[in-house]
Amino acid sequence: MDKREMAGDYEILQAVRLGGKEVLLGYNPKDGCAPYMTSYRVVNFFGDYIYPEAIAGNDYLEIMQAFLNRVQEQAKVVEQFRENRKVPIETLGREHCRERGEKESLEGKLIILRPASLAPEYRTADCQLGFATGGFGCSPGAGGRAVYFEELYSGERCRWEIGDVLGIANPDTLPDWAKEKLTEREDQHRKPKKLERGEAR
């Protein structure tokens, strides 16, 4: 059985996922004009792979250089991401979690994502920490698996599976920046709501 991974007619020789993009290097020995290819690989609205910005040619070195340039560009994306966040690079583990009650829901709790569920360059505390805002996966014993997540650092929202959740964070063991973010969030929630036309907003 042929288990080669393909991108169209090209066998994928190298695939590097970095900075939210996957960069491919491919080879098709049957194409006499352009046997070498590099492209990105993304998933479209229908869940299918597409290969934007594909470049093909017969010069291996030229295509390899284009591939390496794209990987380097993605490395710079990660560098810029980390520089903008300005927090120490560290990973959270089970020692940063508290025990979860047998019937305790995750909803509204500060949770920690498993490092292995994140791309290697994003296996850092600022990407792991966030609030479970809902989803059937929040309830113990529920049939659903979705956990909706609001990142503590940025407020960005996304969806994870319950298997991606390491546990409920223990605030006492968190990094200083995370404790500061929690305090800021609590202060925001304590502020009185603005009134407009006699109604709370």
User: pLDDT tens across 44-56, in order?
Assistant: 988 899 999 999 9
Q: Distance between CA 53 and CA 50 in Å, rounded?
A: 10
Q: Distance between CA 111 and CA 94 in Å, rounded?
A: 11
Q: Distance between CA 67 and CA 40 in Å, rounded?
A: 9
Name which of 25, 130, 17, 164 is nearest 78 in CA terms: 17
Q: What is the pTM of this model?
A: 0.84
160-183 pLDDT per residue, tens? 999 999 999 999 999 999 999 999
86-142 pLDDT per residue, tens? 999 999 999 999 999 999 999 999 999 999 999 999 999 999 999 999 999 999 887
* pLDDT of 191 strictly over 80: no
Using pLDDT thresholds of 50, 70 and 90, give the confidence band for residue 1.
very low
Q: Are 141 and 132 in contact (CB under 8 A)?
A: no
pLDDT the model gives residue 15: 97
Q: Distance between CA 137 and CA 127 in Å, rounded?
A: 20
Using pLDDT thresholds of 50, 70 and 90, give the confidence band for residue 200.
very low
Q: Distance between CA 59 and CA 144 in Å, rounded?
A: 50
